[in-house]
């Protein structure tokens, strides 16, 4: 009985601590949007933004990515300019930012 209790305890602890590395974790869409805006704000004055809440799979640079799609609006002397972006779901890397 003692060995069984020790085994169950060790199994529980290992599962608890290894779960984040075993499961595919992704950042929230809100955090991905914040990172995309921070990256884009280095070159643009952002006046608005949006992001799709459901991730999707895309192929870029010959690799498969799980991404969030979104967009930002920027203010220029000529008016508002719209940009679409895709941001990777694991760490928020901006993969694409194109004027729409």
Interval 9-59: pLDDT, tens: 677 666 766 665 555 689 999 999 999 999 999 988 999 999 999 999 999
Q: Is the dihedral of CA 25, 29, 32, 34 positive or negative?
A: negative
Query: What span, in angstroms and rounded, lies between the C-alpha atoms of 44 and 47?
Result: 9
The answer to pTM > 0.75 is no
Q: Would the pLDDT of 2 be above 90?
A: no
Other beta carbons within 10 angstroms of residue 86's beta carbon come to 22
CATH code: domain 26-99 is 3.10.450
Query: What span, in angstroms and rounded, lies between the C-alpha atoms of 60 and 12?
Result: 39
Task: Report which of 7, 30, 32, 36 is spatially closest to residue 91, judged by C-alpha positions.
Answer: 32
Q: What is the pLDDT of residue 24?
A: 65
Interval 63-85: pLDDT, tens: 999 999 999 999 888 899 999 99
Q: Are 94 and 85 in contact (CB under 8 A)?
A: yes
Q: How confident is the model at residue 99 (pLDDT cuts 50, 70, 90)?
A: very high
């Amino acid at each position: 009985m003692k060995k069984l209790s020790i085994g169950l305890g060790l199994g529980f602890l290992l599962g608890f601590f290894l779960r984040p590395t075993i499961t595919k974790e992704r950042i929230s869409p809100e955090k991905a949007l914040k990172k995309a805006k921070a990256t884009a704000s280095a070159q643009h004055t952002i006046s608005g933004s949006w992001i799709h809440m459901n991730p999707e799979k895309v192929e870029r640079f010959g690799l498969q990515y799980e991404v969030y799609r979104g967009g930002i609006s920027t203010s220029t002397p000529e008016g508002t300019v719209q940009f679409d972006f895709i941001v990777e779901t694991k760490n928020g890397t901006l993969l694409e930012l194109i004027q729409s």
